[in-house]
């Protein structure tokens, strides 16, 4: 079955640095990969989607890369701020008729002031 792996250890960085989160997947070739942010007690919030034919996608301080050969996506937050502290989830579209999302377990990011 398909499997998505995100670093379960929290990422602790200094404000102003670039945070880089990793998402690896196996046994699947998604056409799309999405990143969500989740704060405690809240539901996931959509951030970015990248298609299989796109190598890189940017939105303000966020950048996502997608390497279908390595089966890996990298999520970058540049000039990180304490407000960026949250759990970041990688999700794949399961391309059947329901387009349900398959989630990784998430990586917690902590940005120190």
Partner 1 sequence: EAGVTQFPSHSVIEKGQTVTLRCDPISGHDNLYWYRRVMGKEIKFLLHFVKESKQDESGMPNNRFLAERTGGTYSTLKVQPAELEDSGVYFCASSRTVLSSYNEQFFGPGTRLTVL
Whole-angstrom distance, CA of residue 101 vs CA of residue 113: 34
Residue 28 touching partner 1 (CB under 8 A): no
Q: Which of 2, 12, 29, 105 binds partner 1 (CB under 8 A)?
A: 105
For residues 102 and 91, the answer to whether their CB atoms sit within 8 Å is yes
Residue with smaller CB distance to partner 1, 28 or 94: 94
Q: Which of 42, 55, 58, 59 binds partner 1 (CB under 8 A)?
A: 42
**Burial group, residue 59, by CB count within 10 angstroms (0-12, 13-18, 19+):** exposed
Binding site for partner 1 (CB under 8 A): 4, 31-32, 34, 36, 41-46, 49, 89, 93-106
């Amino acid at each position: 079955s398909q499997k998505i792996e995100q670093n379960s250890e929290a990422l602790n960085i200094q404000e102003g640095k670039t945070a880089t989160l990793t998402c690896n997947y196996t046994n699947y070739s998604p056409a799309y990969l999405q990143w969500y942010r989740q704060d405690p007690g809240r539901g996931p919030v959509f951030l970015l989607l990248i298609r299989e034919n796109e190598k890189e996608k940017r939105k303000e301080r966020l950048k996502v890369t997608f390497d279908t050969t390595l089966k890996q996506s990298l999520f970058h937050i540049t000039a990180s701020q304490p407000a960026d502290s949250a759990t970041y989830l990688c999700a794949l579209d399961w391309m059947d008729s329901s387009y349900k999302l398959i989630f990784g377990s998430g990586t917690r990011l902590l940005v120190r002031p």
